[in-house]
Amino acid sequence: MIRENQQLFNVFNVILDVIVLMISTLFINSPFFARYGPAYEFNFDTILLLFTLLIPSYLLLYYMFKLYTPQRTNRSAFSESSKIIQVNFFEYLFLSTMCVLNILYVPADFLIFFLVINSIFAIIEKAIIRGILRILRAKGFNIKYVLVVGAGEIGRNFVDTVNLNTYLGYKIIGFLDDNVEGIVKDIRVIGKIDDIDEVLSHNLIDRVVVSIAPRHYKTLRKIIDSCEKNGVRADIIPDYYRYITSHPSIELIDNIPLISVRYLPLDISYNKYVKRIFDVLFSIISLIILSPLLLIVAVAVKVTSPGPVIYKQERIGEGGHPFMMYKFRSMRSEDEYIDDKRWTQKDDPRVTSVGKIIRKTSIDELPQLYNIIKGDMSLIGPRPERPYFVNKFKESVPKYMIKHHVRPGMTGWAQVNGYRGNTSIVKRIEFDIYYVENWSILLDARIFWRTLTLIFTDKNAY
């Protein structure tokens, strides 16, 4: 049978999650918390009902968000924390509904405190578990034994990766290959591919990783049959793996699977709607709150320099579609913007005295809130570029056009990491692609917060 040593750990993991839930609830209901925040005194029946609702719903959400899925990958703590926060958000909606229906009687602010406290405790719990597992695996405990079929370039690369990342907890027991003998990458070739039945029968093996070249795929059926007969998990490294991202998606058309080489979280309707709703609400509220500032800036631009208050410039947005992006005019004359083949330089003589201030603080970008409401842009996303540069970079910068799979933003992951304005376009695209492939609500919040902290200190804002 397949050795899934994860079962016992999963039970332990569930028990820990239940304990964290109970600690979070009792902590908010404790005298210690009452010293620094609101005092809550629930009777036994209320506490019992709360736990009755909390525990099954939380475990279900953890399961739905795949927090109990065995992971021996380099999944980041940031990714896991994002899922925990999303779970707590949906739990808040669930408990609020129970309160509205008069099933549960707890104050609204209690649910908010619970959401925050439990998120913190759960993130700490998962971080500790992840750290302990990595230490144990690096020391040789909780190991999965792997047989690699194929000692070619792909198989050797896999061995290098496993050896480099000892925390994954994999140990290569050997290669099977028809054309190579002896030692490869300090791993012994223990037989031919046809020997797989005998090898699986006489060795403790958890996984078989198939890394054979396409010309040998006629033997793939035999390899898979042998693995299934011996109850061993089989994994295939496709020859084209270098073109596939870390989160490929598979779509079935009838019985034919299609592998999307790039996973895009914002292709999922739910994610796209959540981001869009937040963008619109944030933009409307911001325009209302900032209206006095916008009026002052508009007057200052008009009084200090002849020309229009708002400058419009064509940019390339989602799907490669052009749109007109709005800014407060920061240069002496709109004619100065005709040159679309160069970026603004430091100490650019075209910039007015007011323009220097609003560019340094990014106030000149605020009219783009209207672009967000229109649907041309998002609050967070890769910065849009002018058509000239898009046509230039898509030929010279690898994967440049991937950024256009999502709406452009007023600020983005590249900008908060120092790649704004006249900086390395290659590094900027690397950060843009990371954002496109790893979008989450938490990542947007992180970028927004870092943008606020950089308003007065960004050396590339000019």
Which of 12-16, 61-65, 213-217, 406-410 holds the top average pLDDT?
Answer: 406-410
pTM of the full structure: 0.60
Q: Which pLDDT band, with edges at 50, 70 and 90, does 70 fall under?
A: low
pLDDT of residue 290: 93
Q: Which pLDDT band, with edges at 50, 70 and 90, does 380 fall under?
A: very high
Residues 290 and 310: their CA atoms lie apart, in Å, by: 16
pLDDT of residue 2: 39
The model's pLDDT over 228-256, given as tens digits with 9 standing for 90+, comes to 888 888 888 877 766 666 666 677 776 77
Residues 120 and 81: their CA atoms lie apart, in Å, by: 9
Q: Taking the alpha carbons of 250, 251, 257, 263 in that order, is the dihedral positive or negative?
A: negative
Distances (CA, A) of 10 to 17, 66, 80, 233, 356: 10, 12, 16, 19, 57
The model's pLDDT over 100-156, given as tens digits with 9 standing for 90+, comes to 888 888 888 888 888 888 999 999 988 888 788 777 777 767 788 999 998 888 889
pLDDT above 70 as % of the chain: 86
Residue 4 has pLDDT above 60, yes or no: no
Mean residue pLDDT of the chain comes to 83
Residues 52 and 46: their CA atoms lie apart, in Å, by: 10
pLDDT of residue 3: 43
For tokens 């300090």, the residue is: 186
pLDDT of residue 268: 81
Residue 186 has pLDDT above 70, yes or no: yes
pLDDT of residue 175: 93
Least-confidence region, from 232-236, 293-297, 311-315, 373-377: 232-236
Residues 136 and 9: their CA atoms lie apart, in Å, by: 13
pLDDT of residue 460: 59
The 3-state secondary structure of 117-172 reads HHHHHHHHHHHHHHHHHHHHHHCCCCCEEEEEECCCHHHHHHHHHHHHCHHHCEEE
Q: At 168, list the tokens.
A: 């994954």
Residue 333 has pLDDT above 70, yes or no: no
Q: Does domain 144-243 have CATH number 3.90.1150.10?
A: no
pLDDT of residue 346: 63
Least-confidence region, from 178-182, 250-254, 267-271: 250-254
The residue extents of the domains of the chain are 6-138, 144-243, 269-454
Residues 379 and 447: their CA atoms lie apart, in Å, by: 10
Residue 1 has pLDDT above 50, yes or no: no
- Could you tell me which of 118, 344, 150 has the C-alpha nearest to residue 235? 150
